[in-house]
Structure formats: structure tokens, C-alpha cells
Amino acid sequence: MKSPTQTARLAATLYVAWSGTALFSFTYFASAFMVKGDAAATANRIASSPLLYRFAVLSNLMAEVLSIYMVLTLYRLLKDVDRGQARSMVALVLVQVPMAFALMLLQIAPLVLLNGADYWSAFDKHQLDALALGFLNLLSQGIGALNAYWGLWLLPLGVLVYKSGFLPRIIGVFLVIAGCGYVLSTVTWFLFPAYYRLVFLMVTAPAGALGEIGIIGWLLIKGVRTERPVVS
């Protein structure tokens, strides 16, 4: 049986691993392989680095597996604070898993389209390149939608941290603000795309840094203040 401090540090470690693999899969992937508006250049990048491309897809898979263990570990740490909020936190992470797997299929699609198989002979190279870029653009839209759930799960987590009594309340406040920021970013992405970057940099990123990095750092370095959770 792990102590609360051991559980806290395990949760933080899994959080870092999840965030790192997801960031690589979704953020680095787009900059490394996608050339906006240029299907041929995008296809050439994929063809020139197939192993790296496959590793990015694998990172997506790893991220979702890590997210399950991470949120269940947080649940063990925080369930006695408020079981309803703790269950909501778990549910809002688990619902992301099938969504992310669907996005992973869009990620894999260009590998299939550009594999040179005979059954693609009905299409010329320009058409296949265009289809590959189309799937990747659809992937980007899907990530924009998933962005909302990256924020929604932070809301019950923030409430749990605030109410816990063994974690700093200010971190809980920042987590709630970050959660709202992610949701606001998603709305902006779909309705006012020209302002998405501004909203993300001005609201979501600062609050996310203070909240998510704050909770990870606190759990890793400090653990928890007491061996038993104190409900407030």
C-alpha cells in the first residue's frame, strides 16, 4: 500500500509522461510533417521520415494509456475529498481516450494513402498527396475539439485541489482558470479562428502553466501535507 505522498509523486510522474508524449504527438507532429497548403511537400516530409512519423503515432497511443493510469492515481489520492468530483474527473479523462484513438486513425491515414500499394493506382500522386493533407487537416480540427476536454477535466481537479486541505488552494484556482481557458480556446478555434492564438497565449497558456505545472511540481517536490486527506 503506497502512502499518500508516494501516490502523489506517482500521479505527478504519470502526468509529466502523459503531457510529454501528447505534446510530442500533437504539437511537434504538426510542425515536423505538415506544410500548410502544400500537399506535395507534406507527402515528401512523411516519405522522408517514416520512422519518426510512426513514432509520433505511437506517442499518441502511449499518451492515452498513460492518461488512464494518471487519472486513476489522482483518483486514489483525492477520492476522499469529494467522490462526486473525483468520479467526474476520471470520466472526463476516460472519454478522451476513444476520441484520441479516432484522431490516431486520421494520423495513420497518410501512411496508408502513400504506401504505394497497387490498389491506389486509380489515383494519381497529386490526388493521393491531397488526400493525405486533407486527413491531416481533419486531424487538426479534431485536436481543436479535443482541446475542450483537456480543459473540462481540470475543473473537477481544481475543485478537488481547492477543497483538499493538503494541497495549496491557489493551485486549485489556477487549475479551474486553466480549464475555462481551454474551453474558451476551443470555442474561439471554431467560431473566431483568427483570434485563437491570441486567446490561447493570453489566457490558456499562462493559467495552464501556473495550474498544471504548479500541481505537478507540488506533488513531485512536496507530496502532500498530511498522511490523510482533510476534507474542508
- Residue 205 pLDDT > 90: no
- What value does the mean pLDDT take over residues 47-65? 88
Task: With beta carbons less than 8 A apart as the criterion, state whether 160 and 86 touch.
Answer: yes
pLDDT confidence of residue 72: 96
Q: Is the dihedral of CA 19, 22, 24, 28 positive or negative?
A: negative
Q: Is the dihedral of CA 89, 95, 97, 100 positive or negative?
A: negative
- What value does the mean pLDDT take over residues 40-59? 89
Per the model's pLDDT, the better-predicted residue between 142 and 69 turns out to be: 69
Identify the helix (H) or strand (E) that includes residue 130: helix 125-152
- What does the mean pLDDT of the chain come to? 88
pLDDT confidence of residue 128: 94
**What span, in angstroms and rounded, lies between the C-alpha atoms of 136 and 206?**
28
**What span, in angstroms and rounded, lies between the C-alpha atoms of 93 and 91?**
5
The single-letter code of the amino acid at 168 is P
Task: With beta carbons less than 8 A apart as the criterion, state whether 154 and 179 touch.
Answer: yes
DSSP 131: H
Going by C-alpha positions, the residue among 151, 70, 64 that lies closest to residue 103 is: 64
Confidence of residue 172 (pLDDT cuts 50, 70, 90): very high
**What span, in angstroms and rounded, lies between the C-alpha atoms of 185 and 154?**
14
pLDDT confidence of residue 199: 87
**What span, in angstroms and rounded, lies between the C-alpha atoms of 217 and 170?**
14
Confidence of residue 225 (pLDDT cuts 50, 70, 90): low
Q: What is the pLDDT of residues 95-107, one digit of tens each?
A: 999 998 898 899 9
pLDDT confidence of residue 226: 57
Q: What is the pLDDT of residues 77-136, one digit of tens each?
A: 999 999 999 999 999 999 999 998 898 899 999 999 998 888 898 899 999 999 999 999
Confidence of residue 230 (pLDDT cuts 50, 70, 90): very low
- Residue 231 pLDDT > 70: no
The torsion angle over the Cα atoms of residues 111, 112, 118 and 124, rounded to 10 degrees, is -70
pLDDT confidence of residue 57: 86
Q: What is the pTM of this model?
A: 0.86
pLDDT confidence of residue 76: 94
pLDDT confidence of residue 229: 45
The torsion angle over the Cα atoms of residues 209, 73, 176 and 30, rounded to 10 degrees, is 50
Question: What number of residues does the chain have?
Answer: 232
Cβ contacts of 111-115, under 8 Å, gap ≥ 24: 111/46, 111/50, 111/53, 111/54, 111/57, 114/43, 114/46, 114/47
- What value does the mean pLDDT take over residues 41-58? 89
The torsion angle over the Cα atoms of residues 147, 153, 154 and 155, rounded to 10 degrees, is 120
